[in-house]
Amino acid sequence: MKLFNLTYNEVVKQFKKTSIKIIIPIILLSAIVLPLGISKINVDSNIKNAMESNLFLLEDVNNSIESLNKDKNQKAQIEKAYLQAEKEYRQLFVDYKIGFDDWKQKEAEEFRYIAYNLVAIELVLNGYRQDVVLESLQGVNPDEVIKYYEMTLENKKEVEIKFIAEKEKLKDIIINNDYMGHTALEIERKEKYIEGNKKIIYEYEKLKAKNPNDEEGKEKLEELKKENNLAIKEIAALEQDLQVLRFRYDKKVDYDKNNWKNNSIKSIEKNLEEFRRTMQTEKEFSSMANQQRIEITYDEYVKNYETQNDKCIEEIKELWYGLENEIPPLNSIRDARSVIDGTYEFYVIFAVIIAIIIGGGIVANEFSKGTIRLLLIRPVSRWKVLLSKLLSVLIISFGIVILGTTILVISSGYVYGFETLKTPILETINGTITKIDYIQYMMPKLMISVSSLIFITSLVFMISTVARNTALAVAISMVLYLGAAPLTQVLINMKQVWLLKTLIPYINGSFFKIMPFFTEQLSKEYGIQMQYTLGAKQLLLASILMIIVTFITFTKKDIKN
């Protein structure tokens, strides 16, 4: 009961401070405002930058055309013809608002390729000399142009008509926003690539059956063997891509970034790309590791590579399951789950900062004001006095996490619909895809995140008690917490990957969860995943040691003021 009363009094004392009265309500108010604010943000946040870039590039082409208007020599006129084709291409980006990650960009690139080929055949038809055309050629196969000069006039015009028709077809797809037409063309392109690779395999098998004995034949066979092996891999990859494209086409899935099915398909494609990364040989890895000074062994690299591949396979299976069973994956759509998942870590960060502010002075101020003796003359053990102060800091900081997250869940449910919270999370457990309730999924992640709160609270409390200096306690704790993430990034960029086995990156693990670019880079470059559970265990162990040191010091040391 005495401990309860002491703790209660400490909590009340902290809430009497004006700064705490202002800061905590603002933090909790943000949990109401955040979901509403996020709902107003455009999903495609880069569209404005894309439009500015498109306008700049179009203006640059126009200036180049204008500079050639007075130049009448053949080379200048050929360059101007290509620039006119480039202008048409750039105009599509401006007129139809083609962004950086837009399906229309692919068809615009194809439009440009056809437009350049059309320029080449028109130059031939207009009587330009072969050597001049070949010298000024842009984006066109020279062998094809040479063939044009060998054609009859009728055949040349047929080629021109074909390019004009293809160009108009591509332009119509862009103008009409015909995403189904685009998907159909993508399927057609993949099928052509497969046929091309099958021809390579056929040529290899044909020559292999002849079993050539001459040196030239053997060299040709060896060359075709390499191409054959590559073609087999290419066909396997293309078949996977075709499966994704055919699903998109059959289900009429558009490319809207607000469409969770489109986002799931994009994630499948990204994971397939990651999965196809070739594992380096020991010699290749050793050379790369020496050049970049990477501090991991080849065995660790292989293990990380295999772990990453297993993760890719699991995620692909989960995404397919979600598509086939109408279950949107987390973060594939802006709903209550994704908003909560992307913002609850802020309340861990806010709680840590409040813990530093309160914990830095909760003991040190008693010494500086001389009120520590008044506390210790009471018929209460020293450890209880100290524990009540520690508990009060933890209660306030954990209260911010719990209340902030709870309000966030309610406000997100209100803005995006509480029914979206009922959508389960798909996870692979022992090789089986399992549906998990979102709150059940989130709670363990939140518990791991608060390990940093416990660590920083223990640290600031220890310094405040042992050093009896508020400024020192706040400064060290704040620098360590806010500096841990940048320090990790700097050292990892210096190839010091051993750091990930320590607790340093996890001191502010919330930062890496909110801003996942670093962890994605880590996974892509080194095949390494951050081990948040291991980091949490290290932080908790360090916290226990600091608390033990704090209590021993406080109970054994004489109070002189």
pLDDT at 306: 87
Mean pLDDT of 446-457: 95
What digits encode the pLDDT tens for the residues 68-107? 888 878 889 999 999 999 999 999 999 999 988 899 999 9
Report d(CA 233, CA 221) in Å as an integer: 18
Going 12 to 13 to 15 to 16, the CA torsion angle's sign is positive
Per-residue pLDDT tens digits for 391-447? 999 999 999 999 999 999 999 999 999 999 999 999 998 889 999 999 999 999 999
Q: How many CB atoms lie within 10 A of CB 275?
A: 17
Q: What is the pLDDT of residue 282?
A: 85
Contact yes or no for 103/179 (Cβ under 8 A): yes
Side chain identity at residue 264, one-letter code:
S
Domain ranges of the chain: 2-43+334-556, 46-177, 179-254, 257-331
> What's the average model confidence in pLDDT over 258-273?
95
pLDDT in tens, 472-491: 999 999 999 999 999 988 88
| pLDDT at position 333 | 87
Q: Does 168 score more than 60 pLDDT? A: yes
Q: How far apart are CA 233 and CA 197, in angstroms?
A: 10
Amino acid identity for residue 396 in this structure = I
pLDDT value of position 295: 67
Q: Please say if the pLDDT value at position 118 is more than 90.
A: yes
**Other beta carbons within 10 Å of 199:** 11
d(CA 189, CA 245): 11
**3-state DSSP assignment of residue 242:** helix
Q: What is the mean pLDDT of residues 37-56?
A: 83
Mean pLDDT of all residues in 30-55:
85
122 or 39: whose pLDDT is higher? 122
pTM of the model: 0.84
CA distance 117 to 105: 19
Give the pLDDT mean for 220-230.
Answer: 92
pLDDT beyond 70 at 378: no
pLDDT at residue 8, as a whole number: 86
Mean pLDDT in residue range 451-473: 93
Instruction: Categorize the per-residue pLDDT at 350 as very low, low, confident or very high, splitting at 50, 70 and 90.
Output: very high
Taking 80 as the threshold, does the pLDDT of residue 186 lie above it? yes
The distance of Cα 364 from the centroid of its chain, to the nearest Å, equals: 43
pLDDT for position 181: 97
Please answer whether residues 119 and 81 qualify as being in contact, where contact means their C-beta atoms are separated by less than 8 angstroms: yes
Higher pLDDT, 30 or 363: 30
* High-pLDDT (> 90) share of the chain, %: 63
Computed over every residue of the chain, the mean pLDDT equals 89
What span, in angstroms and rounded, lies between the C-alpha atoms of 15 and 22? 10
**Is 70 exceeded by the pLDDT of residue 371?**
no
Alpha-carbon span 521 to 550, nearest angstrom: 39
Q: What is the pLDDT of residues 517-542, one digit of tens each?
A: 888 777 766 667 788 999 999 999 99
d(CA 430, CA 400): 36
Q: Is the pLDDT confidence value at 159 over 60?
A: yes
DSSP secondary structure code for residue 42 in this structure: -
Closest alpha carbon to 546 in 449, 461, 447? 461
The pLDDT of residue 102: 92
User: Taking residues 151-168, what's their average pLDDT?
Assistant: 96
CA distances from 1 to 6, 36, 359, 380, 454 (A): 9, 44, 23, 11, 24
* pLDDT tens column, 143-155: 999 999 999 999 9
Does residue 246 contact residue 272 with C-beta atoms inside 8 Å? no
DSSP per residue over 430-499, as a string? TTEEEEE-HHHHHHHHHHHHTHHHHHHHHHHHHHHHHT--HHHHHHHHHHHHHHHHHHHHHHHHTT-GGG
- Inform me whether the pLDDT recorded for 56 exceeds 90: yes
Distance separating alpha carbons of residues 467 and 458, to the nearest angstrom: 14
Q: Measure the CA–CA gap between 249 and 245, rounded to whole angstroms.
A: 6
505 touches 511 (CB < 8 A):
no
133: its two tokens: 């055309």
DSSP 271: H
Strands (E), 315-466: 425-429, 432-436
Place of tokens 């130059």: 123
The identity of residue 293, as a single letter, is R
Q: Model confidence at 298, in pLDDT bands (50, 70, 90)?
A: confident
Return the higher-pLDDT residue of 363 and 417: 417
The residue-averaged pLDDT of 303-322 equals: 91
Alpha carbon distance 511, 516 (integer Å)? 8
Residue 561 has pLDDT above 60, yes or no: no
Which amino acid would we find at residue 361? G
Whole-number percent of the chain with pLDDT over 70: 94
pLDDT at 357 over 80: yes
